[in-house]
Chains A and B, each alone.
Chain A
Amino acid sequence: MSAPTTGQRAATLRHRSTARRKTVDKAVRVFAWTGASLGIAVMIFVVWQVVVRGIAAWDIAFFTQPTPQDVTSTAGGFANAIVGTLVITGVAALMAIPTGFLGGIYLAEFGRNGKLATAIRMIANVVMGVPSIIVGVFAFAIIVQPLQHYSGFAGSVALAFIMLPVMARTTEDILNLVPNELRESGLAIGAPRWKVTLGVICRAARGGLITGASLAVVRVAGETAPLLFTALSSPYWMTGLFGPGGFFGGPVANLTKTIYDFSASPYPHWQDLAWGGALLIIVVVLGMNILMRLLFQRGKEW
């Protein structure tokens, strides 16, 4: 009884003067514009800060020298960290992209609306929300603890874990966009299912698939938390596969963890290098995002 009926609400609406309603409307518009400008401004501000502070650190040494060990020198660069990040991310991609791709095919082509597929889809969505630090703890528990040493490989496993559901769900979403007629006509001429899927459907969707895979790779390349206690960090170059300096045998220098350590250090030169590293990451991440949008115009699906 206390709630106003529709008639009463209409009456109150009528009683409000047009001038007041228009003022409220205008105020909301102003707020909306301010909000959107604020959002964009923050993005531009963050990028601008990183560019201004980072560009100063970009010289030949930044890309060719390993990280400095001597706090007083102004030499050194980020080269070992760049190589380490490329290797760690690359190995993660090798593990996660084929698996995620086939998993996506299962969801889109075989499982569809079955119980198993629905469950896997749900789990994949949930995994994408698991904080990346927990994935780091997981990789620590299954690789670092049993082997009793940190390794670049442990970092790769953590990153692959994060990529896997992203890859599977993106692949599925993109394959679902391919019209059913293509599937039907492929099967109608007698081609086997795998040939239709890989040769016709995936081919039709290859733009989206490439976009999805690249963005998944770029996304984990910027992750820090999963590497904190897996790949750790190192002032040296990675030396091959095994042994204390190798990919499987010991800590491997990587961009994000080095940025974290250096930016928290009190030495100005180290902080400069950290900004240089942040700039590199921003350039790659935003560059790839923009490039993929321009190339394939598939931003919405992502």
Chain B
Amino acid sequence: MTAGAGQGAKAPLDAARPRGGTARLRLGDPIFRILATVCGLTVAVAMVGLAIVLIIRSWPSIEALGTDVLTTVAWSPVNGQYGVLAALVGTVLSTLIAMVIAVPLALLIALLLVELVHPAAARVIGTGIEMLAAIPSIVYGMVGIFVVVPFVQDVFVPWVLSTPLGSIPGLAPGPRFQGGGVSIFTAGIVLAFMVLPFITAISRDVLGMVPRVTKEAGYGMGSTTWEVMRRISMPYANSGIVGGVFIGFGRALGETMAVAYLIGSLYTDLPHSIFDPGTSIASLIAQQFSEATDKVQVSALIQLGLVLFVITMGFQLLAQLWLRRVKRSTGGRA
């Protein structure tokens, strides 16, 4: 500061600058800028590095097994089978069950938060739901295995099987049925509550962006809250909600610990029913990695990681692009 004041109007800037502290200041800015840029680039480089490393390290297995990994059902290293299909089916099924439960629930909660309760109450409820996202997945897994599994096994599955529903293919127990407690279904239920906060948060935000006047016009015509929601808010927010569902889907696909606890460890066969045990790609990696000793086996597991990476990244990219487009279009309309 004093240097700047001492310069005065008379001294030419160039003459004054090289002396004293100002010289360092001029160097400070480019250094700071470069440092920040490098750190920003680190994020991108790390991601690219991850992709490259996964490809390089799964190369031995790609070379040895070709596309077998993608077409073989079973994961059974003893028999030389390294297949992803059973795990893929388990992953998709458990994720779909989670979404069937979580999406309607999230929409209803978002409706409540935006339209039905006082903003102060909405904040408290919203915070409570968001806290679901803060609970680590290992805790969900533990509560799942010690509480949800006994309930599903002793109460829910016997009840379903005693009704006519129990003979529908997909619900009727398959040859690998173990009572239904440790099953794809249980994993799906727990997953639902793990992705619920993400879908709720995005739905609430996009429903909150619907212009007040549009909704008020609806109410002014005598519509009920549900009609305004169904015919005005939802069409407006639809694409944003879809983006939220994508994000939730991506998260559920890659969730590891809770699923590893709950889905069972049936690596060798396709599940015949949602009450059968199964496996998911992420939990297969988690459970088999430390037991893998053979080089090809480790490499095949990394290849499974690569498959999961490509799937989840595809979902993320889709969701990001979609949400960006939505943001732009609603931003233009609002």
Are A229 and B289 closer than 8 Å at their CB atoms? yes
- Cα–Cα, bound, A261→B42 (Å): 34
Answer whether residue B282 sits at the interface, using C-beta atoms and an 8 A cutoff. Answer: yes
Are A36 and B108 closer than 8 Å at their CB atoms? yes
Answer whether residue B127 sits at the interface, using C-beta atoms and an 8 A cutoff. Answer: yes
Chain-B contact segment, one of A69-77, A120-128, A239-247: A120-128
6 extra A-B contacts, CB within 8 A, seeds A168-B39, A278-B139: A99-B39, A103-B36, A138-B50, A164-B46, A197-B32, A263-B261
On chain B, the residues within 8 Å of A224 by CB distance are: 136-138, 256-257
- Cα–Cα, bound, A197→B305 (Å): 40
Answer whether residue A155 sits at the interface, using C-beta atoms and an 8 A cutoff. Answer: no
Are A110 and B44 closer than 8 Å at their CB atoms? no
- Cα–Cα, bound, A263→B262 (Å): 13
Answer whether residue B159 sits at the interface, using C-beta atoms and an 8 A cutoff. Answer: no
On chain B, the residues within 8 Å of A45 by CB distance are: 143
Are B37 and A106 closer than 8 Å at their CB atoms? yes
Are A31 and B108 closer than 8 Å at their CB atoms? yes
Answer whether residue B145 sits at the interface, using C-beta atoms and an 8 A cutoff. Answer: yes
Interface SS of A by simple majority: helix
Are A263 and B145 closer than 8 Å at their CB atoms? yes
- Cα–Cα, bound, A128→B227 (Å): 37
Answer whether residue B149 sits at the interface, using C-beta atoms and an 8 A cutoff. Answer: no
Are B143 and A49 closer than 8 Å at their CB atoms? yes
Contacts A24-B226, A138-B54, A141-B57 given; does A263 touch B142 at CB 8 Å: yes
Are A299 and B50 closer than 8 Å at their CB atoms? no
Answer whether residue B33 sits at the interface, using C-beta atoms and an 8 A cutoff. Answer: yes
On chain A, the residues within 8 Å of B294 by CB distance are: none
Answer whether residue B315 sits at the interface, using C-beta atoms and an 8 A cutoff. Answer: yes
Are A46 and B140 closer than 8 Å at their CB atoms? yes
Are B286 and A50 closer than 8 Å at their CB atoms? no
Q: Which of A35, A98, A131 contacts B255 (CB 8 A)?
A: A131
Are B39 and A100 closer than 8 Å at their CB atoms? yes
Answer whether residue A285 sits at the interface, using C-beta atoms and an 8 A cutoff. Answer: yes
Answer whether residue A78 sits at the interface, using C-beta atoms and an 8 A cutoff. Answer: no
**Inter-chain CB contacts under 8 Å: number:** 264
Question: When each residue 267-283 of chain B gets 1 if its CB lies under 8 Å from chain A and 0 otherwise, what string results?
Answer: 00000000000000010
Are A134 and B305 closer than 8 Å at their CB atoms? yes
Shortest CB-to-CB span from A218 to chain B, Å, is 8
- Cα–Cα, bound, A132→B224 (Å): 44
Answer whether residue B193 sits at the interface, using C-beta atoms and an 8 A cutoff. Answer: yes
Are A138 and B253 closer than 8 Å at their CB atoms? no
Give 12 A-B contacts (CB < 8 Å), ordered by A residue: A13-B227, A46-B135, A99-B42, A102-B38, A131-B308, A137-B289, A138-B54, A193-B29, A194-B31, A222-B138, A259-B138, A260-B257
Are B289 and A42 closer than 8 Å at their CB atoms? no
A1-37 at interface with B (beta carbon < 8 Å): 13, 21-22, 24-25, 28-29, 31-36
Q: Chain A residues in contact with chain B, CB under 8 A?
A: 13, 21-22, 24-25, 28-29, 31-36, 38-40, 42-43, 45-47, 49-50, 53, 98-103, 105-107, 109-111, 116-117, 119-120, 122-127, 129-135, 137-138, 140-142, 145, 161, 164-165, 168, 190, 192-195, 197, 218-219, 222-225, 228-229, 232, 256, 259-260, 263-264, 274-275, 278, 281-282, 285-286, 289, 293, 299
Contacts A39-B129, A102-B35, A134-B50 given; does A259 touch B135 at CB 8 Å: no
Are B138 and A25 closer than 8 Å at their CB atoms? no
Answer whether residue B120 sits at the interface, using C-beta atoms and an 8 A cutoff. Answer: no
For A13, A106, A110, A120, the residue with the greatest tally of chain B CB atoms inside 10 Å of its CB is A106
Shortest CB-to-CB span from B39 to chain A, Å, is 4
Are B317 and A126 closer than 8 Å at their CB atoms? yes
Are B313 and A126 closer than 8 Å at their CB atoms? yes
- Cα–Cα, bound, A114→B261 (Å): 44
- Cα–Cα, bound, A101→B42 (Å): 12
Q: Which partner residue on chain A sits nearest B283 by CB separation?
A: A133
On chain B, the residues within 8 Å of A111 by CB distance are: 37, 40
Shortest CB-to-CB span from A287 to chain B, Å, is 10
Q: Which partner residue on chain B sits nearest A21 by CB separation?
A: B224
- Cα–Cα, bound, A164→B43 (Å): 7
Contacts A33-B112, A110-B33, A228-B289 given; does A50 touch B312 at CB 8 Å: no
- Cα–Cα, bound, A90→B244 (Å): 32
Answer whether residue B15 sits at the interface, using C-beta atoms and an 8 A cutoff. Answer: no
B17-67 at interface with A (beta carbon < 8 Å): 25-26, 28-29, 31-33, 35-44, 46-47, 49-50, 53-54, 57
